[in-house]
Every structure is written in structure tokens, then in C-alpha cells.
Amino acid sequence: MTDEFATHRRSAEGISFTDVGEGPVTLFVHGVFTNGRLWRNCVRRLSDHRRCISIDLPGHGHTPPVGEPSVWGLADAVCTVIDALDLREIHLVGNDTGGAVSQVVLTRDTSKFATFALTNCDTEGNFPPRAFLPAVWAAKAGLFRVSKPLVRLPKIAKQIYRTGYQNVSAVPDDVIVDYLAPILGTAEGARFMTALLSSMSPEQLAPIRPLLATCEVPTAIVWGTGDIFFHRRWADWLVDLIPGAEHVVEIPGGRLFYPDERADELVDALEAHWRRHGG
């Protein structure tokens, strides 16, 4: 895979991640059908004054399909990296399915986190989003197992991402290939993703609701209003639920389902949040 931060790539018990820069620990968690490269533009802006760790979740990027194919198994992988590096005072950032994963990780031990931030992401009651159900149905129908040729046809493969990106044609071809190759390129990857998507249900995050409802970790909710997957009402739901959450910071018309193309606006919002909370 092409990897702009290849020299900074590390592994902890089989979980791959990049570790770039020095300063406050900032941990990024991506969603499905992407990998840690999703945060590349944020890392470029932040790594001169922050330590930016971008995880490849199991079955994505450089991390093989390991562990349980569910939001709980993905959270285990993030916690593996946190424990292996003995991270403290973490500034945790998650989006899409990675936002759901981050919610689980946060509630396992809130004492490890200095701040929390979510962009457009899955929540209890919207997991998976209604507009994402065709991907779940495609997985269950076995279409992932016969889609390997798309890895060699990035310009066609980009159509998969059109509903998430505002300008998918501007995304480098190699990024799309890196997103899809671990999922569609091997039978094992396709099986893992099928199981992961099949595990999703609206009530699956219900067990962490009481924990989020007592969480005082300063929380930023940065929400793009332009995507079809995560309506603004889910941002308001998070603010109402989490005591440490502030008002919603809107990115008008933005699709933070894939935050790499709106990285400047997201980073501005994150840095404002960190300044307010000593980060």
C-alpha cells in the first residue's frame, strides 16, 4: 500500500497504526471501508505540535482481520494500542463507525482521556444508518466476495464512495485502493467485513448509554450538515446524553462521513475545543 507516513508505522499485538509528531496524544479512529489514511490531512496540520496516532482497525488498512467482527472487537483493538503504548491524557477523535467504536473505548476507562471529539458517526438508534443498509444487504448477499476486480479499477470504485464524499474525483486513486484492497482483495477480508456489517443493530450500543450519561470528559460534537447518513438530530442526541458535551459545531453542507476533504474546518474546530480544555 502507498502510505505517506510509512516511516512512522508501528504495530501493537498485530494492530497497525501510525505515530507521527510530538505533543499531546491525539488518537484518531476511522470508520468502515476506510483506514487510518482517512486522517492524513488532519495529521499533516497537527503533527508539528501534537502526537497523532491513527489506528487501522481490524480488517482495514495494514491490520489483518483479527478479533471479534463487531464494534466491541474493534474497540478491543483500539484499547490494545492504548495499553501497549501506555497512553494517558488522550485526546480521542472518532468518525462514522469509528465514532461508535470510540464511544465504547471512552466508557471503558474515562480516566485515560483528556478530551473527546466526534464527527458524524453512528449512535445508539442509528447503527447502522438507514442509508447505509444497502451496503449491509450487499455484504449478506455475498457481493463482496465477487468484487475483487474493483481494487484494480479505482475510478470505478470511487462510485462506492460518492454518497459520502462531496468531490470523490479529487480523492487520490491510491487512497481508494488502500481503502478497498483489504476488504475486497481477499476472501478473509470479505468474510470479516460481512460479519462486521451483519453484527450491527440499532440497540447494540445501548449498554454504554448509562456510562455516556455520566461522562464528564470535555466532548466536542463537530457535525457536517450535508451527509445523508447522520442527520443533525443525532448530534443533538449526543449533546443531550453526554454531560461533558458542548453545543454542536456545525460544518454547513459538510459531509464529515469522510473528514479528509474537510480537514481544515475539522481541525479548526478541534483546536478550538482543545484550547478551551487545556489540550
C-alpha cell at 41: 490531512
- In this prediction, residue 246 has a pLDDT band, given cuts at 50, 70 and 90, of confident
Task: With respect to residue 175, please indicate whether it lies within any of the assigned structural domains.
Answer: no
Record the pTM: 0.97
Query: How many structural domains comprise the chain?
Result: 1
What is the per-residue pLDDT across 223-235, written as a single tens digit (0 to 9) for each? 999 989 999 999 9
pLDDT of residue 1: 54
| Whether residue 54 has pLDDT greater than 80 | yes
Q: Domain limits at 67?
A: 6-124+204-276
Contact of 135 with 111, CB cutoff 8 Å: no
- In this prediction, residue 51 has a pLDDT band, given cuts at 50, 70 and 90, of very high
pLDDT of residue 172: 95
pLDDT of residue 114: 98
| Whether residue 236 has pLDDT greater than 60 | yes
What percentage of the chain exceeds 90 in pLDDT?
89
Task: With respect to residue 37, please indicate whether it lies within any of the assigned structural domains.
Answer: yes
Average of pLDDT values for 273-278? 95
What is the per-residue pLDDT across 57-76, written as a single tens digit (0 to 9) for each? 999 999 999 999 999 999 99
Task: With respect to residue 89, please indicate whether it lies within any of the assigned structural domains.
Answer: yes
Task: With respect to residue 141, please indicate whether it lies within any of the assigned structural domains.
Answer: no
Average of pLDDT values for 113-127? 97
How high does pLDDT run on average in the chain? 95
pLDDT of residue 188: 95
| Whether residue 104 has pLDDT greater than 80 | yes
Domain of residue 234, CATH code: 3.40.50.1820
Task: With respect to residue 219, please indicate whether it lies within any of the assigned structural domains.
Answer: yes
Task: With respect to residue 176, please indicate whether it lies within any of the assigned structural domains.
Answer: no
| Whether residue 2 has pLDDT greater than 70 | no
| Whether residue 161 has pLDDT greater than 80 | yes
Task: With respect to residue 184, please indicate whether it lies within any of the assigned structural domains.
Answer: no
- In this prediction, residue 257 has a pLDDT band, given cuts at 50, 70 and 90, of confident
Average of pLDDT values for 238-251? 96
